[in-house]
A and B are shown apart, each in its own frame.
Chain A
Amino acid sequence: MAVEVHIEAEQPRTSDAELVARTLAGDPSGFTALVERYERSLYTLAVRTLRDREEARDATQEAFVKAYRSLHTFRPDAKFSTWIFSICYHACCDRLKRSRRYSGEEIPDRADAGPGPEAQAIANDDAGRLRAAIDALPEKYRSVITLYHLQGKQYDEIASVLGVPLGTIKTHIFRAKEQLRQILAASEREP
């Protein structure tokens, strides 16, 4: 089944590589277009990883600034979305480490406390319920399922972003989906 991913970067008019080349040649419109193209997806990755809108805002900005400063190191044969998602994900991890909420690979395989009353109130439709269910996943599954949403079924790209083996990504996606199903089912049963 072909999954239709809602991301502006999927059908770009100008390729990312061309926009990067334009930026490196001194044309600021190249990077402006890249910001317009990836702002929402990077913010989504940050907000779902960090579960804090203020922190996510800062992490998104930090990712773009880092990308801009190290744009000359970007290999033209690489995929820009993977590169910038990776920068953003690591910025989020740094923030989680700083706030002592991050526990690396040893995150327990249990769901977090789940959404609060405010989040539950807005989770009255499928999208809201799904978003709340993703928020309730453990950190490692939240990131992987968000990238699965943003990048489609490109497991190798997700593995590159997160810096973990392909097999681990497949396992994490399988388990994340299992937990999503359980959380969604539980939320449906609730009055």
Chain B
Amino acid sequence: MNDRTDDELDRLLAALPLDEPPAGLRASILAATVQRVPAEPIDPWEASAWGLLLALALWLVPHLSAINGVIATIARTSFTLTQPTTLIWLTVGVTAAFAASAIPDFSAGINLARKGR
């Protein structure tokens, strides 16, 4: 074994059987490749219909706002509520209230004040 020639080693290597893959490997490869069901494409008609509805809705908003004051107010309020600054202040307010309620003395003081009334 120690003095194996190059040819002997080559013969040994050539005779070495390949490793047996685990059961199910081939099936999982095929399932991930040729048998893979492609994602269902969106129907062009469906996409067009949704696009049309959205465009109609966007077109209607300014028109209705101009006609009716209530709708304009709702639209304005909705717009204001979606502004980042408003959302930040709302978050700050809710967090501060939550933090204050978590302080025991602060909560106890409020309860005492309520009882005293």
Q: Which residues of A contact B (CB under 8 A)?
A: 1, 3-7, 23, 28, 31-32, 35-36, 39-41, 43-44, 47-48, 53, 57, 60-61, 64-65, 68, 126-127, 130-131, 145, 148-150, 177, 180-181, 184-185, 187-188
Contact = CB atoms under 8 A, between A and B. Distances in A.
A28 B35 contact: yes
20 contacts: A3-B10, A6-B14, A6-B15, A6-B17, A28-B35, A31-B33, A31-B34, A35-B26, A35-B29, A39-B25, A57-B25, A61-B28, A127-B12, A130-B13, A148-B13, A150-B18, A181-B2, A184-B1, A185-B2, A187-B1
B33 A68 contact: yes
Chain B: interface residue count, which band? 20 to 34
Contact of B22 (A36, A53, A188): A53
Contact of B10 (A1, A41, A61, A68): A1
B4 interface: yes
B1 A130 contact: no
B61 interface: no
Contact of A145 (B1, B13, B15, B28): B13
A113 to B, nearest CB: 21
Given A43-B25, A44-B18, A47-B19, 11 more contacts: A35-B33, A40-B18, A43-B18, A65-B29, A65-B33, A126-B15, A130-B16, A148-B13, A181-B2, A185-B2, A187-B1
A7 B16 CA distance: 11
Contact of B19 (A31, A35, A43, A184): A43
A6 B1 contact: no
Given A3-B14, A7-B18, A130-B12, A35 B30 contact: yes
B32 interface: yes
B34 A60 contact: no
A39 B29 contact: yes
Contacts of B9: 177, 180-181
Nearest to A47: B19
Nearest to A150: B18
B46 interface: no
A185 B1 contact: yes
Nearest to B10: A3
